[in-house]
Chain A
Amino acid sequence: MSQQREIKINVPVLARVEGEGALDLAIRDGCIEELKLRIYEPPRLFEKFLEGHGHQDLLDMVARICGICPVAYQMTAVHGLEELFGVDPGPWVRDMRRVMYCGEWIQSHSLHIHLLAAPDFFGYNSAMELAREYPAVVRRGLMLQTLGNDLIAMFGARSVHPVGLRVGGFFKAPDPEAVEAMCQRLEEAVTVAADLVHWCVGLKIPENNQQFTSVALRHPDEYAIYDGRIGSSVGLDIPVEEFGQHFQEFQVPQSTAFHTHLNGRPYLVGPLARLNLSKWQLPEPVLENLELTGVHFPSSNMFRSVIARAVEIHFAIYEALRLLSEYRVPESPAVEFEPKAGTVYCASEAPRGMLWHSYGIDDEGKVRWAQIVPPTSQNQGRIEEDLGQSLLHCGLEQEDDVLRLHAEQVIRNYDPCISCATHFLKLDVTRR
């Protein structure tokens, strides 16, 4: 194929990602002239909707940002409000929130691995095709997803937009009988999840190593989910309130979602970033299972994100079981509090990566202003950077369909939630 060809590829709708976006790729003389991940979903204006609403409304409203990770939005907000109000709900609430959050990691990661990513590795166009040939694989994914959803619902009354969280704790503590039944399911699922890690390692994962900065919350005592300091693979270690001093949100013409840079450069958040930074904090059985696979982290291969998700499913099931194994019903599932005016800075680890919130709160506990930085916004710059390198690695002389498929697979590694970020993929390739 002549290097003089001018090529333009347009992927008008990217499948198996969340939300609506497109990819424009222009190639001139064998070089990428233009590469833009276009996110064209209309802005959802959630931050403005929140203004004037009270703290409980805030928890119910931020959950509506996402049907897959509502718990992440709620947990981030509730933790931040409690910090501001000076409320310490105690260890029971903290542990049970971590369990509920584990449920969200389990369901979100399971869906991604089995329904969104796995067809790529088997050469299928859809989860339906995979389901016909490998029904046991898809059933495993659905089983794990249901487990995660039920874990969320045990605390939140329902898995989509749960309603169980409140400032100070929970509205209701789960019944011991429900917890006991859940523990039995988690015990059975631990083995399934350990096997899932080996299954993912067995997938035909491309070798494509790139240099990037991993960013995630870090906690001195545990694999961070619920809280921590912001850390990076290049030595960043800051409290969440200093986010704005190091990270820059900015607008680009091709996206209705903000991009975010760390000191002027793209960076990665998500399961691979977390594993790269905090693998050593995984529980011993989870770590041992990973070591048995012979795959090492930190990794600079984004395609290993699928393995990272499987490891985190194993971890989340193990962790939920550990925390629930000595479950007791507390005297009260919540503590009382008085609202206070001030500014809230808070972050937690959503399934797709670090989620950062900031709110101005008045003395009645109402929202004066809000700023929410979801993981997909943070990953957009990294996705574009990765695409540029991955498509070169793939070979720009490849047929458009090959480039399109490869680009989609690269993007799916990030499990982007475009709907959260505003909010997939159309590829437009121009060869000149």
Chain B
Amino acid sequence: MCHSLSQAGCNTALSPIRIIGVGSPIGCDAVGWQALDALQELGLSDSFPEGVVSMEKLDRPGAGLLDHMRGADLVFIIDALVAASDSSAMVVLHAEDLLQETAPLSAHSLGVSETLALGEALGDLPPKLQLLGIPVDATAEIKSDLWVKSETVTEIWDHICQQIALFNPQYRKVGAEEN
């Protein structure tokens, strides 16, 4: 996995399926990274044939996100989602939900959705892309450094395995669903 702190030297493997945690190290924005760490520790990429699934954490990549998706067939982006409710259930957003062409574009506000809109205009988006949003309440009292819940990790795991199996059944390994 390419950690953000080594992103300068990161050469994303040309794996067809990529799972990208977007965020930063501190606060609720770390939830995407924490989810990715948990999936990695549970052996998600090892549940598939070697070279099929790669995982990396990116620190507020801006338009650089497009580089990390280039050549992929299926991309999952795990990111924090500002939520009004108390639910911690994962929210699945598809590329078409995220394209915000009308949003004013500035170099400072080149977030995931603006980057995806730019990628769509360039014809650089992968054929299939999903954003797995983990709801966070940025105003909540910080009680621990851990923002991702184990049940959310399980939910993400199940969803990714299911989607990969649907996308290309050859990529599914025996036992993947048991984790």
CB distance from A231 to the nearest CB of B (A): 28
Across the interface, name the chain A residue whose C-beta is closest to B121. A131
Beyond A145-B63, A154-B8, A178-B9, whether A15 also contacts B104 by CB under 8 A is yes
Q: Does B107 lie within 8 Å of A115, measured CB to CB?
A: yes
Q: Does B106 lie within 8 Å of A135, measured CB to CB?
A: no
Across the interface, name the chain A residue whose C-beta is closest to B115. A142
Beyond A13-B104, A18-B106, A128-B101, whether A67 also contacts B8 by CB under 8 A is no
Cβ of A132: which chain B residues have Cβ within 8 Å of it?
A: 121
B127 contacts chain A at the CB level, 8 A cutoff: no
- Bound-state CA distance A342–B19 (Å) is 50
Residues of B3-60 contacting chain A, CB below 8 A: 4-9, 24, 59-60
A16 contacts chain B at the CB level, 8 A cutoff: yes
Q: Does B118 lie within 8 Å of A158, measured CB to CB?
A: no
Contact flags A390-432 to B (C-beta < 8 A → 1, else 0): 0000000000000000000000000001010000100000000
B151 contacts chain A at the CB level, 8 A cutoff: no
Q: Does A146 lie within 8 Å of B101, measured CB to CB?
A: no
A160 contacts chain B at the CB level, 8 A cutoff: yes
A19 contacts chain B at the CB level, 8 A cutoff: yes
B91 contacts chain A at the CB level, 8 A cutoff: no
Q: Does A160 lie within 8 Å of B60, measured CB to CB?
A: yes
Q: Does B105 lie within 8 Å of A128, measured CB to CB?
A: yes
- Bound-state CA distance A348–B9 (Å) is 28
Beyond A13-B104, A18-B107, A138-B122, whether A67 also contacts B60 by CB under 8 A is yes
Inter-chain CB contacts under 8 Å: number: 90
- Bound-state CA distance A158–B22 (Å) is 13
Cβ of B9: which chain A residues have Cβ within 8 Å of it?
A: 178, 181
CB distance from B158 to the nearest CB of A (A): 31
Contact flags B94-114 to A (C-beta < 8 A → 1, else 0): 000000010011111010000
Cβ of B7: which chain A residues have Cβ within 8 Å of it?
A: 150, 153, 158-159
Beyond A138-B118, A142-B63, A142-B66, whether A127 also contacts B5 by CB under 8 A is no
Beyond A127-B118, A145-B63, whether A158 also contacts B107 by CB under 8 A is no
Across the interface, name the chain B residue whose C-beta is closest to A133. B121
Q: Does A19 lie within 8 Å of B108, measured CB to CB?
A: yes
Interface size on B, residues (CB 8 A): 26
Count chain A CB atoms within 10 A of each CB in B5, B66, B117, B122 and give the residue with the most: B122
Residues of A26-44 contacting chain B, CB below 8 A: none
Cβ of A18: which chain B residues have Cβ within 8 Å of it?
A: 106-108
Contact flags A101-131 to B (C-beta < 8 A → 1, else 0): 0000000100110011000000000111101
Q: Does A158 lie within 8 Å of B106, measured CB to CB?
A: no
Q: Does A150 lie within 8 Å of B106, measured CB to CB?
A: no
Cβ of A126: which chain B residues have Cβ within 8 Å of it?
A: 101, 105
Q: Does A157 lie within 8 Å of B5, measured CB to CB?
A: yes
Across the interface, name the chain A residue whose C-beta is closest to B120. A128
Across the interface, name the chain B residue whose C-beta is closest to A424. B106
CB distance from B111 to the nearest CB of A (A): 11
Q: Does A158 lie within 8 Å of B4, measured CB to CB?
A: yes
Contact flags A136-175 to B (C-beta < 8 A → 1, else 0): 0011001001100110011001111100000000000000
A68 contacts chain B at the CB level, 8 A cutoff: yes
Q: Does B59 lie within 8 Å of A111, measured CB to CB?
A: no
Cβ of B106: which chain A residues have Cβ within 8 Å of it?
A: 15-18, 116, 424
Count chain A CB atoms within 10 A of each CB in B6, B59, B105, B107 and give the residue with the most: B107
CB distance from B102 to the nearest CB of A (A): 8
Q: Does A158 lie within 8 Å of B59, measured CB to CB?
A: yes
- Bound-state CA distance A116–B104 (Å) is 10
Q: Does A115 lie within 8 Å of B67, measured CB to CB?
A: no
- Bound-state CA distance A153–B67 (Å) is 16
Count chain A CB atoms within 10 A of each CB in B5, B105, B123 and give the residue with the most: B105
Cβ of A115: which chain B residues have Cβ within 8 Å of it?
A: 63, 105, 107, 110, 118
Across the interface, name the chain B residue whose C-beta is closest to A13. B104
Cβ of B60: which chain A residues have Cβ within 8 Å of it?
A: 67, 160
Q: Does A145 lie within 8 Å of B108, measured CB to CB?
A: no
Across the interface, name the chain B residue whose C-beta is closest to A127. B105
The 3 A-B pairs with the shortest beta carbon distances in the complex, nearest first, are A153-B8, A131-B121, A15-B104
29 A–B contacts from the bound complex (CB under 8 Å): A15-B106, A16-B105, A17-B106, A18-B107, A18-B108, A19-B108, A67-B60, A68-B108, A111-B107, A112-B107, A115-B105, A115-B107, A115-B110, A116-B107, A127-B121, A131-B118, A132-B121, A135-B122, A138-B121, A138-B122, A139-B122, A142-B63, A142-B64, A146-B64, A146-B67, A153-B7, A158-B7, A159-B7, A160-B24
16 additional A-B pairs beyond A126-B101, A145-B63, beta carbons within 8 Å, are: A66-B108, A68-B108, A112-B107, A115-B63, A127-B118, A128-B101, A135-B123, A145-B64, A150-B7, A157-B5, A158-B4, A158-B5, A160-B24, A178-B8, A178-B9, A417-B108
